[in-house]
Structure 1
Amino acid sequence: MENTTCGVRIRRGGPADAPAVLAMLDSAVRWMNDRGNTEQWGTTPFSEKPGGPELVDRYMTENLPYIAEFDGTPAAALVLDSGPDPRAPITPAEEPERYVRLLVSDRRFAGRHLGSALLAHAVQETRRAGVPLLRVDCWAGGGGELVTFYERHGFTSTETFRSGSWPGQVLAQRVG
């Protein structure tokens, strides 16, 4: 399934997109660190983290990855799964769901609303699959700006959690 809106093309991703997604993650870590946020994703580029490249490879092969392209260049990515990582301290849903495992953009394309386009696409894909619930978790630190971003996109906060000292928030959206 491909979707094109406002010059942004959203397409299914795959293994060939792993290097671009890894570069997006590295770009996001640098961008956050440059702004003083060293807590959300740490300070080590994702490509240098133990298991980082392998995780991205798994996302691109075992899940439902989507790539937003701008002028033909992969500029953002979203990965859907059937639930949260089972190792995460998150309460499982009591019904079928789609779960946003990753949403990241290349900071060179900031301001083009690629994350918004990908979240709208995730809602469409979840609804198309006949699944009533879309959930996501995010970093709840830094004043909660990321939580607010998801709330602006129709999600409602449902539970908080901690992974070590990392504060997290789970949000849900009914799409049925």
Structure 2
Amino acid sequence: MAVSGRARALYQRIADKLRVQITEGTLRPGDRLPTEAEIAAEWETTRSTAVQGLKVLVNEGLIISDRPRGYFVRSRRPMVYRPQGEFRKRPLSPEMDLFLTQMSEEGREASQRIEIKVESPSQQVRERLQLQEGELVVVRRRVRSVDGVPYNTNDSHFPLALVQGSEIMNPDDIARGANVVLAELGYEQVRALDEIQVRMPTPDEADRLQLGPGTPVAVHLCTGFTKAGRPVRTVVNVLPGDRHVITYERLRPRVEEALAIRQAKVDDLHTVVDLWGHAASWLQERGIDQWQYPPREDRIAANIAAGECWIVEADGAPVATITVDEHADLDFWSSSEAADSALYVHRMVVRRDVAGMSIGSALLDWAGEEALRQGKDLLRLDAWRTNGALQQYYRDHGFAHVRTVEVADRHSGALFQRPATYRRGIGPELKTSPPALEGK
């Protein structure tokens, strides 16, 4: 037998009904709500109970009290706030910054008040600017208003030692932007870290922004870094929840433009194994029995230790792997062939979600370049005997079929080779990353 929930108090049910009317549009922004006396009469209760229900909606930020006129649905015309606009080009007009320009474009009247202070930073600013105890900051404090209403605060903090004597110290708008001034001082920002926290405002924030009860704020901390990784600016933006919509626009980078190849490290063993397993599952789904056994982790680990295993990454995420070594498998290649100047390809795997980008073709070209770098004349591999599609793939990529060897308990044996100088020239460029430091 189900246990019913605890009955809601009458003042909560009053709030529930009015909330539905607001959210469904029966009561629209600016509309006057029934009076306390009218609500009390409707619900056959006391006026104090009606007031309790109205206070719930005040605290939720849905209505405002404007005595003696009554209670009204809060009007909301949110500003679209775009953190990614930090590095957007500045407008040419010296009277207008990005905020003023945006509001002007939307047909709204905007203004701002700027003050400059030299002070000891808060702990969160000190940590983000990596300042020592006792170091001071210059703060450019702004209250930005739209249509006569304070909309947000924008407080930019700079290490005093970096900006002393510059325009940043003046309580005026900087037409070309503080970022440009920092660049002129030798501290160009090339990277920004954004942090967003949602909470209730502090008393100081509520006072600066003239916030009523029940209005949460989003706090956007943006720290700018130079190419050398030095933090030079931390901005604290306080955005009332009833006045802003935070909008991020992201572009997915083209995978082929973000590829790099690097030597695998000891802790990459599981990455290579996972790529192998991913490929084996895909083959099994298509009825191909290739690689339907656990990967030989000891061999992979040995290749990694010898610097023969490589990983391709797209924006830091592994998407492919290849192993190249100079050791001929004597089950397949003859002793005289093993004496040839050749580099051998093993375990070339490309993740299926990046298939169609010719990464495999690029990997084979890269392997040919590696063969030349090691002074080899040939690039060789052995393919699964029963995988005709894979054998055709290698033919299409300039490999000649040498012969097919059948060895007991071995499924591979279709032998291919091509000159190390051969380039198909199709697929993305693979940039070789420098070896990572040990332990990194």
Q: So what's the TM-score if we normalise by structure 1?
A: 0.82
Contact 1:105-1:115 at 8 Å conserved across structures: yes
**2:285 matches 1:31:** no
Q: Choose the corresponding residue for 1:151, options 377, 388, 395.
A: 395
Q: What is the alpha-carbon root mean square deviation over aligned residues?
A: 2.1
Distance in structure 1 (CA, Å) of the matches to 2:402 and 2:386: 16
Contact 2:332-2:413 at 8 Å conserved across structures: no
Query: How far did residue 63 of structure 1 move?
Result: 4.9
Match of 1:161 in 2: 405
Q: After the TM superposition, which of the residue ranges 116-125 and 64-73 deviates more from structure 2?
A: 64-73
One-letter amino acid of the structure 1 residue matched with residue 333 of structure 2:
I
Contact 1:101-1:136 at 8 Å conserved across structures: yes
Match of 1:78 in 2: 322
Match of 1:126 in 2: 371
Match of 1:91 in 2: 334
Q: Of the two, which has the highest radius of gyration? A: 2
Match of 2:291 in 1: 41
One-letter amino acid of the structure 2 residue matched with residue 91 of structure 1:
S
Query: How far did residue 9 of structure 1 move?
Result: 1.3
- Can you give the 5+ residue segments of structure 2 that lack an aligned partner in the other structure? 1-254, 422-440
Give the direction of change, closer, same or farther, for the CA distance of 1:83–1:159 in structure 2 (3 Å limit): farther
Contact 2:404-2:413 at 8 Å conserved across structures: yes
Moved over 6 A (4+): none
Distance in structure 2 (CA, Å) of the matches to 1:105 and 1:10: 13
Deviations 1:62-114 (A, max 9, x none): 2522211122211111101112334x333242322111122112233322322
Identity of aligned pairs, percent?
29
Distance in structure 2 (CA, Å) of the matches to 1:108 and 1:130: 35
Match of 1:49 in 2: none
Distance in structure 1 (CA, Å) of the matches to 2:358 and 2:258: 11
Distance in structure 2 (CA, Å) of the matches to 1:5 and 1:55: 30
**2:273 matches 1:22:** yes
Contact 2:326-2:342 at 8 Å conserved across structures: yes
Contact 2:344-2:380 at 8 Å conserved across structures: yes
Contact 2:309-2:322 at 8 Å conserved across structures: yes
Match of 1:102 in 2: 347
One-letter amino acid of the structure 1 residue matched with residue 267 of structure 2:
A
Distance in structure 1 (CA, Å) of the matches to 2:264 and 2:291: 23
Query: How far did residue 45 of structure 1 move?
Result: 4.4
Query: How far did residue 134 of structure 1 move?
Result: 1.1
Distance in structure 2 (CA, Å) of the matches to 1:63 and 1:100: 14
One-letter amino acid of the structure 2 residue matched with residue 112 of structure 1:
M
Deviations 1:8-56 (A, max 9, x none): 2122223232111100011111111111112x212x443xxxxx22222
Distance in structure 2 (CA, Å) of the matches to 1:106 and 1:126: 24
- Can you give the 5+ residue segments of structure 1 that lack an aligned partner in the other structure? 47-51
Match of 1:13 in 2: 264
Give the direction of change, closer, same or farther, for the CA distance of 1:63–1:102 in structure 2 (3 Å limit): farther
Contact 1:98-1:134 at 8 Å conserved across structures: yes
Query: How far did residue 61 of structure 1 move?
Result: 1.4
SS in 2 for 1:163: coil
Contact 1:84-1:101 at 8 Å conserved across structures: no
Query: How far did residue 115 of structure 1 move?
Result: 1.4
